[in-house]
Amino acid sequence: MAIDEKPSRNEDEYWAKVDAELIKSRRAALDAEREKARKSEQQNKCPRCCVDLKEREYHHVKIDECPQCGGIWLDKGELEMLQQVPREKSGGFLGSMFGIR
């Protein structure tokens, strides 16, 4: 955008520019909101089936399970937390989740 050396010369032009800036920043805020909503919406849905995931607590770790395909989704760091669950208590995370011994 060209810099207007005399912003008071044309008041309409000045306010049009202010309005454009306001619209631009409002637009950016709305886009950020929308992006946030979209992300949180996706987090609660199975990426495969797009159905709502069921939250399930396993040794204080909240895991998301899809009631349709049975997919299990972990947030960042949750797998590491599950690995800390003592084997004697859980029978091993993979073992108890999938029946593997």
Residue numbers at the binding site for Zn ion (CB under 5 A) = 46, 48-49, 66, 68-69, 71
* Closest separation in Å from C-beta 21 to Zn ion: 44
Task: Tell me whether residue 24 or residue 62 sits nearer to Zn ion (CB atom).
Answer: 62
Three-state SS at 45: strand
Identify the H or E element spanning 96.
helix 93-98
Q: How far apart are CA 38 and CA 41, in angstroms?
A: 5
Residue 67 C-beta: closest distance to Zn ion, Å: 8
> What is the smallest separation between the CB atom of 4 and Zn ion, expressed in angstroms?
55
Going by the DSSP 8-state scheme, the letter that residue 1 receives in this structure is -
Q: Which is nearer to Zn ion, 72 or 85 (CB)?
A: 72
Nearer to Zn ion, 19 or 52 (CB): 52
Nearer to Zn ion, 68 or 83 (CB): 68
Instruction: DSSP letter for 5, please.
Output: S
Least CB distance to Zn ion at residue 91 (A): 25
DSSP assignment of 47-74? TTT-PBPEEEEETTEEEEE-TTT--EE-
